[in-house]
Structure 1
């Protein structure tokens, strides 16, 4: 019994000693880690800039199976925000500054402690050099773990090194893996939909879509409007020469709706039309390839484009349904005129004795 007491006392003393030792250790850290990633700079920037993608490369996120992310609204660009709750960490991220295709500055609050994160993207031979700089301090629990893992800087460095490696693997496989299938000529049904339009440059299309689609969905929720299909994009104008694109973000509805004058959201009734359908499985970056294959199919089959209708992209499965870009599904519809099938000559039997059939003009 006395030995047990001594053991408990020894354990208590060790615990107190460890606590005192940990409390005297510096909690501050400042690390910089870089990695060459064989992906274009703009692609990496856009991927990191959207918090919805962090679940695919944040090492502390991937290694916590029970972590839950919350996206209250804007997830990319300046002012973007997200939060999470998990077994090992609770926290949030906020974007303070963004320089397109160049750098991102963020503030992280995790387990009660603040830290600063900055990203730098630089073109390099063989790809893009991605650099993470982080400055902050660890909470008490993290300091204990750091002591047994070679120190605070080593622990934090390991987290960011793993994140860069996950980012590299994700971009290499998830972004590049895709397939395109031209399904052929289909009759696309019409219907009612709500739309919100914008005019922008080609490089800003992706950024606008990431803002406008969630915004329009929020409008549906706020006004108790039922979605009657998947969101889609109408390209009203695609002027490559002047780098101007007019597009509308659309969501189908069942019934007609009326809006007050001055509203930036419109109700439209789309008529049925014939189109060449192409299915892209993979990241949206490959939509241009799908367009090219659609046009090639139209030319080979002697079809004529119907310019009175617009090309649309329907987002069957996207980032909100599944995180892996390689599994996203987009359907592209290029309007064409129905192909005229020549009528076969109709023959009738004459009443003369020769009983020779003569063609009648259809």
Structure 2
């Protein structure tokens, strides 16, 4: 019995010694992981910037079936948040700011610990180099966990590396699965809409759409305006040489309204028109392939397009409808040039009883 008591006492002393050792260890840490993601930089940035996608690649979320996630109303960009909760841990991420398609700065709260998180994206041979860096201070339980798993660098770096591997695998499949379909000549029906128009770099269209569309939708909610379809973009000009386009970001509405003069958000009416329709299923970054196939089809079938604007894109199915990029659907309409009807000349016969001419009636025209 005495030996057992000594062993038990020795165990308690060892436990106290280990506890003191762990508690007195430095809590500050810096970890970093990086990996080449085999996808274009803009695609990788936009995917990571939206918290709805994190449950697909973030290792401490995707591998835990008990975790419940929730998001802020806007899930991307500055001020957006991701929250998770499970029996073993809780935490949240908040985006403090972003810079172009180059970097994201976040703040993470994990149980009682707090971390600064930095993500950078750089073009490189074969894709995009993503660097994921974090620094912060550990609480006691995190010190215990890292002591048992071989240190902070070992345990947390593994999570980063696993997450980046998941990101590469997910985007590799999703981004390489797409299809372009030529639907043929269709009739695009009349549409009332609200819009914000400006000149943009073609490469910035996705980023600008993520800002402008929610802005117009919020305006509609605040003014009880009924929406009537999916967001769309009208490309008035499309200069690929200078990477510039004059665009209108549009939200369709049920009834025509009139906005006040000087407002950033304007009302408009798109009159019905005949168009060549092309459907792109998959990542929006393959839009150039859809435009190229449309041009080839138009040339082969002698179809003249681009009379009033170059083309129109409707985001029929996107990130709000499905997490799978390969299932996104963008419908593209190219307005047809009106057919030229040869003029016919008829002799003018004067009516001696009625020399008055018929009045000329002018029709209202849309700005498009």
TM bin (shorter chain): 0.7 to 0.9
Structure 1: 5+ residue runs without aligned partners?
A: 1-5, 341-362
User: How many correspondences in the alignment?
Assistant: 329
Shift of 1:142: 3.6
Give yes or no for contact 2:52–2:75 (8 Å, CA) kept in 1. Answer: no
Shift of 1:83: 2.9
Provide the C-alpha distance between the structure 1 equivalents of 2:306 and 2:214, rounded to a whole number of angstroms.
31
SS in 1 for 2:290: helix
Superposed CA deviations along residues 31-70 of structure 1, whole A, max 9, x for unmatched, are: 1222122233343334334444433322223224443231
Superposed CA deviations along residues 98-118 of structure 1, whole A, max 9, x for unmatched, are: 2x4544433323323221222
Shift of 1:222: 2.2
Partner of 1:359: none
Partner of 2:94: 93
Superposed CA deviations along residues 88-132 of structure 1, whole A, max 9, x for unmatched, are: 32212223452x454443332332322122233344443333222
SS in 2 for 1:61: helix
Provide the C-alpha distance between the structure 1 equivalents of 2:307 and 2:338, rounded to a whole number of angstroms.
13
- Residues 1:246 and 2:246 aligned together: yes
Partner of 1:280: 280
Distance 1:111 1:202, change over 3 A: same
Distance 1:321 1:22, change over 3 A: farther
Give yes or no for contact 1:180–1:281 (8 Å, CA) kept in 2. Answer: yes
Superposed CA deviations along residues 307-352 of structure 1, whole A, max 9, x for unmatched, are: 1255111111111222221111111111114789xxxxxxxxxxxx
The normalised TM-score by structure 2 is 0.80
Shift of 1:139: 3.8
Provide the C-alpha distance between the structure 2 equivalents of 1:255 and 1:212, rounded to a whole number of angstroms.
21
The normalised TM-score by structure 1 is 0.81
Partner of 1:82: 81
Give yes or no for contact 1:112–1:139 (8 Å, CA) kept in 2. Answer: yes
Provide the C-alpha distance between the structure 1 equivalents of 2:222 and 2:64, rounded to a whole number of angstroms.
33
Provide the C-alpha distance between the structure 1 equivalents of 2:220 and 2:19, rounded to a whole number of angstroms.
53
Give yes or no for contact 1:122–1:129 (8 Å, CA) kept in 2. Answer: yes
Provide the C-alpha distance between the structure 2 equivalents of 1:48 and 1:333, rounded to a whole number of angstroms.
30
**What aligned pairs does 1:121-200 form with structure 2 within 5 A after superposition?**
121-200=121-200
Provide the C-alpha distance between the structure 2 equivalents of 1:43 and 1:316, rounded to a whole number of angstroms.
19
**What aligned pairs does 1:1-362 form with structure 2 within 5 A after superposition?**
17=16, 22-65=22-65, 66-73=67-74, 75-76=76-77, 79-87=78-86, 88-96=89-97, 98=99, 100-337=100-337
Provide the C-alpha distance between the structure 1 equivalents of 2:98 and 2:336, rounded to a whole number of angstroms.
45
Structure 2: 5+ residue runs without aligned partners?
A: 341-368
Provide the C-alpha distance between the structure 2 equivalents of 1:86 and 1:291, rounded to a whole number of angstroms.
44
Give yes or no for contact 2:231–2:251 (8 Å, CA) kept in 1. Answer: yes
